Protein backbone atom coordinates (compact mmCIF):
# COMPACT_ATOMS: atom_id res chain seq x y z
CA UNK A 1 0.00 0.00 0.00
CA UNK A 2 1.54 3.31 -1.04
CA UNK A 3 1.29 6.35 1.15
CA UNK A 4 0.07 9.63 -0.22
CA UNK A 5 2.81 12.20 -0.74
CA UNK A 6 2.91 15.29 1.43
CA UNK A 7 2.24 18.66 -0.18
CA UNK A 8 5.95 19.45 0.22
CA UNK A 9 6.92 16.29 -1.69
CA UNK A 10 4.38 17.10 -4.41
CA UNK A 11 5.80 20.62 -4.76
CA UNK A 12 9.36 19.25 -5.03
CA UNK A 13 8.13 16.78 -7.67
CA UNK A 14 6.64 19.63 -9.71
CA UNK A 15 9.76 21.77 -9.34
CA UNK A 16 11.85 18.88 -10.68
CA UNK A 17 9.80 19.10 -13.91
CA UNK A 18 11.05 22.66 -14.50
CA UNK A 19 14.20 23.09 -16.53
CA UNK A 20 16.58 25.89 -17.33
CA UNK A 21 15.93 25.99 -21.07
CA UNK A 22 19.64 26.42 -21.82
CA UNK A 23 20.86 23.61 -19.54
CA UNK A 24 19.33 20.12 -19.76
CA UNK A 25 19.04 19.71 -15.97
CA UNK A 26 16.05 20.48 -13.76
CA UNK A 27 16.16 23.58 -11.58
CA UNK A 28 16.18 21.59 -8.32
CA UNK A 29 19.29 19.62 -9.32
CA UNK A 30 20.91 22.84 -10.54
CA UNK A 31 20.45 24.33 -7.08
CA UNK A 32 18.24 27.20 -8.29
CA UNK A 33 15.56 26.68 -5.63
CA UNK A 34 16.58 28.28 -2.34
CA UNK A 35 13.40 27.36 -0.48
CA UNK A 36 9.63 27.58 -0.46
CA UNK A 37 7.07 28.33 2.20
CA UNK A 38 3.49 27.14 2.43
CA UNK A 39 0.84 29.30 4.08
CA UNK A 40 -2.76 28.47 4.91
CA UNK A 41 -5.36 30.65 3.24
CA UNK A 42 -8.69 31.39 4.96
CA UNK A 43 -10.67 29.10 2.63
CA UNK A 44 -8.50 26.08 3.48
CA UNK A 45 -6.34 26.29 0.38
CA UNK A 46 -2.61 27.00 0.37
CA UNK A 47 -0.37 29.77 -0.90
CA UNK A 48 3.17 28.78 -1.86
CA UNK A 49 6.03 31.26 -1.94
CA UNK A 50 9.08 30.04 -3.86
CA UNK A 51 12.46 31.73 -3.46
CA UNK A 52 14.81 30.92 -6.29
CA UNK A 53 17.61 32.25 -8.45
CA UNK A 54 19.02 31.84 -11.94
CA UNK A 55 22.48 30.78 -13.07
CA UNK A 56 22.99 34.37 -14.21
CA UNK A 57 21.25 37.66 -13.34
CA UNK A 58 20.96 38.24 -17.09
CA UNK A 59 19.27 34.87 -17.75
CA UNK A 60 17.42 35.33 -21.05
CA UNK A 61 14.94 32.59 -20.16
CA UNK A 62 14.23 33.84 -16.64
CA UNK A 63 10.62 34.89 -17.26
CA UNK A 64 9.79 31.55 -18.88
CA UNK A 65 11.36 29.57 -16.03
CA UNK A 66 9.49 31.66 -13.44
CA UNK A 67 6.17 31.14 -15.26
CA UNK A 68 6.86 27.41 -15.52
CA UNK A 69 7.47 27.22 -11.76
CA UNK A 70 4.22 29.08 -11.05
CA UNK A 71 2.22 26.96 -13.49
CA UNK A 72 3.53 23.63 -12.23
CA UNK A 73 3.27 24.37 -8.49
CA UNK A 74 -0.33 25.55 -9.05
CA UNK A 75 -1.17 22.01 -10.22
CA UNK A 76 -0.53 20.59 -6.73
CA UNK A 77 -3.90 19.75 -5.13
CA UNK A 78 -4.85 22.32 -2.50
CA UNK A 79 -2.58 25.07 -3.85
CA UNK A 80 -4.48 28.19 -4.84
CA UNK A 81 -1.76 30.82 -5.15
CA UNK A 82 1.94 30.71 -6.09
CA UNK A 83 4.38 33.57 -5.89
CA UNK A 84 7.98 33.37 -7.04
CA UNK A 85 10.68 35.68 -5.73
CA UNK A 86 13.92 35.83 -7.69
CA UNK A 87 16.92 36.42 -5.43
CA UNK A 88 20.60 36.80 -6.26
CA UNK A 89 21.88 36.71 -2.70
CA UNK A 90 23.57 34.38 -2.32
CA UNK A 91 24.56 34.28 -5.97
CA UNK A 92 24.31 30.96 -7.74
CA UNK A 93 27.51 29.06 -8.46
CA UNK A 94 28.18 25.48 -9.62
CA UNK A 95 28.76 24.24 -6.05
CA UNK A 96 24.96 24.47 -5.56
CA UNK A 97 24.44 21.68 -8.11
CA UNK A 98 23.81 18.12 -6.97
CA UNK A 99 26.29 15.41 -7.88
CA UNK A 100 23.69 14.00 -10.28
CA UNK A 101 23.53 17.33 -12.13
CA UNK A 102 27.33 17.56 -12.28
CA UNK A 103 27.48 14.01 -13.69
CA UNK A 104 24.79 14.79 -16.24
CA UNK A 105 26.72 17.84 -17.41
CA UNK A 106 30.06 16.01 -17.46
CA UNK A 107 31.52 18.04 -14.61
CA UNK A 108 32.56 14.98 -12.54
All structural domains of the chain, each given as residue ranges with its CATH number in brackets, are 7-90 (3.30.300.130)
pLDDT at position 26 is 96
What was the pLDDT predicted at 18?
Answer: 97
pLDDT of residue 24: 87
pLDDT in tens, the chain (108 residues): 457 899 999 999 999 999 988 888 999 999 999 999 999 999 999 999 999 999 999 989 999 999 999 999 999 999 999 999 999 999 999 999 999 999 988 887
Distance between CA atoms of residues 75 and 38, nearest Å:
14
CA distance readout (Å), 19 to 6, 10, 22, 30, 79 = 23, 17, 8, 9, 21
Amino acid sequence: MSEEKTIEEQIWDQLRLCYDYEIPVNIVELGLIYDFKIEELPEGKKAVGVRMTFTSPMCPMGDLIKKDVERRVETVPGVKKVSVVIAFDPPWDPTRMTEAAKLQLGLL
